[in-house]
Structures are given as structure tokens and as C-alpha cells.
Amino acid sequence: SQQGEEDPQALSIQEGENATMNCSYKTSINNLQWYRQNSGRGLVHLILIRSNEREKHSGRLRVTLDTSKKSSSLLITASRAADTASYFCATDDTGRRALTFGSGTRLQVQP
Amino acid sequence: DAGVTQSPTHLIKTRGQQVTLRCSPKSGHDTVSWYQQALGQGPQFIFQYYEEEERQRGNFPDRFSGHQFPNYSSELNVNALLLGDSALYLCASSLNRNQGGYTFGSGTRLTVV
């Protein structure tokens, strides 16, 4: 079963704008990860944030984690057409050696 | 350094048949997990193999089985295929002692007709 929901399900923006995606989850976690998927192919790992971290940056990516609200957000700054893809959050749940994925956000960046 | 390699890339099978999908993990990784991704949905965990044993299993029927070989590569077998088994099957490798570091392959697209 899916861990939680991602919001929005779809997002369309212009190149250069920022894109924000949100993820909610239900259980206790070791870490939360964000992945990108192009055209139904393999998943590319973007960033991992541990349960004791609140914010993490990697290039144009900024991730926040609020364990009290069981939520995370992914911000992509200065988006490019090449950022067009589906983005998934996945939780590495405490006591379970598996990732539980959200339903994904489809991002379309218009050139 | 090769990443995760999956074969075949695409596969078409008939209802009731059996299928075997293969995965070679990233160099240095010893754990392999399999996921099923239906169209428009997030991946769902099938099972994980470590030290040639199934260590964890998701909510999938026992028509889904697997194997891990001494070289850490893995197979996913699905028997008595149903139309609903049509999906992208993803393999992910990791190092057992390293929490959270998963590398995914490009997947096998299975179509059951």
C-alpha cells in the first residue's frame, strides 16, 4: 500500500520558476528520500533526509522534513525544461527494510 | 562502475504463462529489492533478498517468488500471469550496512495479454 499522498498530483510551470511538491506519510521513519522518474523508466535518487534533520540542500534542490506533522517538501529552484518528470517521495520506515512510495507529482516545465 | 542492470527491457507474455526477470546489482552492493509499478502509480515493494534469503516481503501473493545468487544477482519469477501483473518491475540494490542508499535499475516493462 502507498505510504501517503503527494500534493499536487500534477504541476505545470514556466522555465525559471520554482516548483514545490509536498509529501505526507503515516509511520515512524528512519529517513525520507526523493526520486525522479522520466517517462516511466528507472528511478533516479535525488536526495535523502534523515529523521533527525530538518532541511537539506543539493544544488537547486531543497528538502524539508517535519516529523511532527509527518510531512516533507521538495523545492526545485530556477526550474528547467529538463526537470520535466514525475517526482516521488519514499520513506524508509523504522523496523522495515523497504521503501514505501507516495503516488508522485507529475511536473511539467514549459520552455 | 556499472549501476543496476535489469533484463530484459521489455517483455510480452500471455495470461497463465510464467516469467523470469533478472537483476545485477551495483558493484559493491549485497542486497536486492524488487518493486512493481503500475501505470500512473508509485512503486510497491515486492520483496528483498540478502544473503540469498528473502528477508522482507510486501503484500504480494506467492505467485511472486525470487532468488538471489552468490554473486548477489537476483531473479524475480511470476507464475500464472494475470492481466493485472502488467507493470514496470524495478530492481534496487543497496549495501546492507548502509541505511537508505538505494540504486534503481531502469526496469523491465512486462505486458500480459
- DSSP codes, A3-17: ---EE-SEEEEETTS
Nearest Cα to Cα of residue A87 among A61, A110, A66, A69: A61
Mutate to test the interface with A, among B21, B94, B95, B104 (most CBs of A within 10 A): B104
φ, ψ (nearest 5 deg) of residue A110: -85, 130
For all residues of chain B together, what is the average pLDDT?
94
Of B37, B56, B100, Cβ closest to residue A33: B100
Of A31, A42, A100, Cβ closest to residue B99: A31
Of A42, A100, A104, Cβ closest to residue B105: A42
A30-55 mean pLDDT: 93
B43-53 mean pLDDT: 95
Residue A4: the pLDDT is: 62
A50-54 mean pLDDT: 95
Model confidence pLDDT, tens digit, residues B78-99: 999 999 999 999 999 999 877 6
Inter-chain residue contact B42 with A102, CB threshold 8 Å: yes
For residue A21, give every residue at least 6 positions away whose Cβ sits within 8 Å of its Cβ, in sequence order, or none.
A6, A7, A8, A11, A73, A74, A87, A89, A105, A107
For all residues of chain A together, what is the average pLDDT?
92
A40: alpha, beta or left, given left = phi > 0 and alpha = psi -120 to 50? Answer: left
Chain B residue set in contact with A, beta carbons under 8 Å: 4, 31, 33, 35, 37, 39, 41-45, 48, 55-56, 58-59, 88, 90, 92, 99-107, 109
- Which has more pLDDT, B65 or B97? B65
What b/e readout covers B57-67, taking b as 16+ CB neighbours within 10 angstroms?
ebeeeeebbbe
pLDDT score of B25 more than 80: yes
Residue A1: the pLDDT is: 43
pLDDT score of B17 more than 50: yes
Say yes or no: A87 contacts chain B, CB-CB below 8 A.
Answer: no
A11-36 mean pLDDT: 95
Sheet containing strand A61-66, edge to edge, reads: A6-7, A19-24, A71-76, A61-66, A55-58
For residue B22, give every residue at least 6 positions away whose Cβ sits within 8 Å of its Cβ, in sequence order, or none.
B6, B7, B73, B74, B75, B76
pLDDT score of A88 more than 90: yes
d(CA B105, CA B77): 17
Residue-level length of chain B: 113
Residue B77: the pLDDT is: 98
- Of the pLDDT bands very low, low, confident and very high (cuts 50, 70, 90), residue A95 is confident
Tell the residue number behind the cell numbers 535518487, with chain if given.
A45
B9-36 mean pLDDT: 97
Task: Please state, for a pLDDT cut of 70, what percent of chain B lies above it.
Answer: 96
pLDDT score of B100 more than 90: no
Locate B84 and state its grid cell.
493485472
d(CA A71, CA A19): 17
Dihedral, CA of residue B56, residue B38, residue B28 and residue B6, to nearest 10: 130
- Which has more pLDDT, B100 or B23? B23
* Amino acid, single-letter form, for residue B98: N
Chain A, residues 26-85, CB within 8 A of chain B, namely 30-31, 33, 35, 40-45, 48, 50
d(CA B38, CA B85): 8
A88-98 mean pLDDT: 87
Residue B2: the pLDDT is: 66
Give the CA count within 13 Å in the CB-facing half-sphere of B113. 4
